[in-house]
Amino acid sequence: MFWLIENKEQFEVLKNSGFKEAFVEVITNNPYQHPTQNSIIGFYVRPIQGHKGYILPISHPECENLFEDEVYLYLKGLETIYVRDKKEFLHYTILKQLVDITLGSPPYILPQTTAHSTLYRRFPDLLTVNQLVPITKHYEVCEQVYDDLEHRVNTAVNPFYNDKATLVFNAIERNGIKIDKNEFEKHFNRTPPEEYVYTSYNLNTLTTRPSNKHDGINYAALPKENGCRKSFIPRNNVFVEFDISAYHPTLSGMRVDYDFGDNDIHKAFASMYGVDYNKAKELTFKQLYGGVFDNYKDLPFFKATSEYIRTTWEIFQTEGVITCPISNYEYKRDVLENMNPQKLFNYILQNMETSLNVEVLFRIFKLLKGRNTKLVLYTYDSFLLDVDNSELEVLEQIKQVFYKLKLQLKEKNGINYDFT
């Protein structure tokens, strides 16, 4: 049977083949363009019970192209679709039966043929460069992708990350952030092509704490000192940022059943240590990330934390795996290198942070559905909202999401992300 589906008759043969599960890869116009600004050339479909894959072209000049709506209906009819990156895939086609087979693995780098790499070098700014790549070369790459990832098909997938994390980070990326073009050009030494820039979250990090970088800009670590944050402005009326206060001490308390009450957590630590507020923050973070100091080991919080670190390490050593709360993500001894008790504890905290934030984000997006107010950036313990002044009541509803989870908040607002 043919591998290039170019007409109704060929498409009917594929549709009537009885395949219910397939690996699907989106072939886009430009591999470096953000998905929100990209478009589809075609789909590669590899039936799991088949012996080869098929390309369903949408807009490649060499092909007699199919209608995208017809292809969508075919994909919608499959029972299970395995994909390389569900968060990215959802930008192109929204389907419920997607299974991300690379979650929890190192990022997969798409292979390139000589034709791909040559054309990418020759036409670095051409947004439709993949239309110049012969369709046979796209097929060659897609077959290689499936060969590389086939062993992950039908392996267990973490439902929390597949069904929730991919959705919320896709939603943030879709919103984009409006920019002040003059400030952006001054600080990032480039002329922005549009009035919005877009983030890109990488969920496949070692600790599961997502990174966020696109087009050379690290949105997870924008400097606060050089003024570059003035480049980002609200599309509505004002930016409002919610920061979770003392997040990792809070998460540690959750793990060891230590209740800080409703008081400021760093004030509580200052009282324990007998030092000022800023010194208390310094001492707490040093001990959470580097180990408890001898002179504080008998404080109830650190005594309980030390015991948790010890017992968790014992389980990790004897059973070879630790299952994280909330997400049920597993850290496996055979996969992680150079581990020690404190490092494992820090990994668990970062996974808890991400997992609890996914729950928070999921609830926030429900509250914002149909509104002008948008959540435009997430960075570990902070949530940036682009707020319409006619919808201020939703801010109180969002605060309740955090409060119900016993999270303390600090709030900032301003006309740009610099908040000065």
pLDDT in tens, 295-349: 999 999 999 999 999 999 999 999 999 999 999 999 999 999 999 999 999 999 9
Name the 3-class secondary structure at 293.
Answer: coil
pLDDT band at 1 (very low <50, low <70, confident <90, very high): low
Do the beta carbons of residue 219 and residue 201 sit within 8 Å?
A: no
| Identity at 147, one-letter amino acid code | D
What separation in angstroms does the CA of 24 have from each of 31, 36, 67?
A: 16, 19, 17
Residue 318: phi, psi to the nearest 5?
Answer: -80, -40
Ramachandran category for residue 130: left, alpha or beta (phi over 0 → left; psi -120 to 50 → alpha)? alpha
pLDDT in tens, 184-209: 999 999 888 789 999 999 999 999 99
What separation in angstroms does the CA of 49 have from each of 46, 64, 84?
A: 9, 27, 18
Name the 3-class secondary structure at 310.
Answer: helix
Is the pLDDT score of 85 beyond 80? yes
How many degrees, rounded to 5, is the angle at CA 222 between CA 270 and CA 100?
Answer: 100
* CATH assignment, 8-157: 3.30.420
Predicted TM-score (pTM) of the model is 0.95
Query: Within 13 Å, how many C-alpha atoms sit on residue 180's CB side?
Result: 16
Q: Provide the residue ranges of all domains of the chain, joining segments of one domain with +.
A: 8-157, 158-420
Architecture per CATH, domain 158-420, reads as 2-Layer Sandwich (3.30)
Strand partners, 261: none
Average pLDDT score over the chain: 96
Kindly state the percentage of the chain with pLDDT values over 70.
Answer: 100
